[in-house]
Amino acid sequence: MSLEIKGGTIYREGAFVANEGLVIENGEGVIDVGNSFLLPGLCDVHVHFREPGQEYKETIETGSRAAARGGFTTVCTMPNLNPPPGDLDALRVSLACIERGRASGAAIQIVPYGTITRARDGRGELSDMEALAPYVCGFSDDGTGVQDRANMRAAMELAKSVGRLIVAHCEDDELVRSGRIRESEWRQIERDVKLADETGCGYHVCHISCRESVEVIREAKKSGVDVTCETAPHYLLLDTDTLERDINAAPAFGGRYKMNPPIKDRADRIALIEGALDGTVDMIATDHAPHSDAEKRTGFAKSLNGITGLECAFPALYTWLVQAGAMPLERLVEMMADAPRRRFGFADNGYSVWDFETPYRIDSATFCSKGKWTPFDGWPVYGRNRMTICDGRIVWKG
């Protein structure tokens, strides 16, 4: 059996062309998408689905539905979990949750990370990477930077031996304590690209947010280091001017803007966009990190770090980068579909069908995610996902 999709404009090999009839194996039926755009299934290598351990914030079921609604057919789940997947027994708990959640949620591809350090604390004993490697997309202590240079070097050597990436949240605790927040990010990147060069390990940097990080990675790439990086929609679309204006206008909603790393200034935002355009910044990941209402409705200072992103990322970026003339649509799709699949070794596994003609406002109350706190709530946008197809199955229809 097969599913045939007629009409629309389709993205093929980096360009948009008229769809002359797309046939998807293992599906069934015929769908006419009219004037819609057919994009490859988006791929997000940085999401938090909170299960096991904090199901009140999100579950595999609710997170997978949110992803499918946002046009994503592959996501990589971060290891900020209880238990943290630092050995095979702990990972099996996560894998069982993924199987149950996909069965009751959206049948998209969900691939977990293993931890770098066994306790995901950025210190001490390394995880059992050899046992974890067949089941994970890479190793990360996301939320915690690996503090010791020797420990990171050992981690890179071990990850290279099992053929997996080190995916680093870069944050130096000592620099944070001294108030040097931006330096805490780029200094660890500077350390790590040298180690990646020395060890030959594939190295990927999470959610870069400042211009110094862009420059360090740009120079490392020129030197042939095997390094890639991601940034997030909020770093490309927001800066401290926006943050201060909006928080002053509505202090109770300051939690919408609280994340780690924090939003930086206008020059950083421009540098990130320039890095995205010249290929220094490889991909965009949402860092979808839902929290409960009680954890976010406490103002900026007291809210927990993390915002919801899967269901609004592509419309916000399409409207405020592509339509604004700051980025070609082809580059946005490359960064949200092609580049992450290449780097992490994922095959194409679906399509999303987008209406770019009808304006609407982002309304977090309608989100499938349990998390409703996003800085893009209420933003006027174009780009509504009409349908997501994964492995021949329609997993979202809006």
In a domain, 51, yes or no: yes
Q: Is residue 61 part of a domain?
A: yes
In this predicted structure, what is the pLDDT of residue 1?
76
Domain at 261, CATH number: 3.20.20.140
Mean pLDDT, to the nearest integer, of 70-98?
98
Residue 352 has pLDDT above 90, yes or no: yes
Number of domains in the chain: 1
pLDDT band at 26 (very low <50, low <70, confident <90, very high): confident
Residue-level pLDDT at 194: 98
What's the pTM value of the predicted model, to 2 decimals?
0.97
Sheet with strand 37-40: strands edge to edge? 15-18, 9-12, 37-40, 350-355, 384-390, 393-397
Domain limits for position 317: 41-349
Specify if 358 maps to a domain: no
287 is catalytic: yes
Long-range contacts of residues 184-192, Cβ cutoff 8 Å, at least 24 apart: 184/145, 185/209, 185/210, 185/212, 185/213, 185/261, 186/210, 186/212, 186/213, 186/216, 188/145, 188/146, 189/213, 189/216, 189/217, 190/216, 191/149, 191/152, 192/152, 192/166, 192/168
On average, the pLDDT of the chain sits at 97
Phi, psi of 204 (to 5 degrees): -130, 135
Assigned domain for 309 exists:
yes
Could you tell me if 366 and 66 are in contact, meaning their C-beta atoms sit under 8 angstroms apart?
Answer: no
- pLDDT band with cut points at 50, 70 and 90 for residue 25: confident
pLDDT band per the 50, 70, 90 thresholds, residue 29: confident
Does 9 fall in a domain? no
**Options 192, 268, 287, 338, the catalytic residue:** 287
Q: Is residue 167 part of a domain?
A: yes
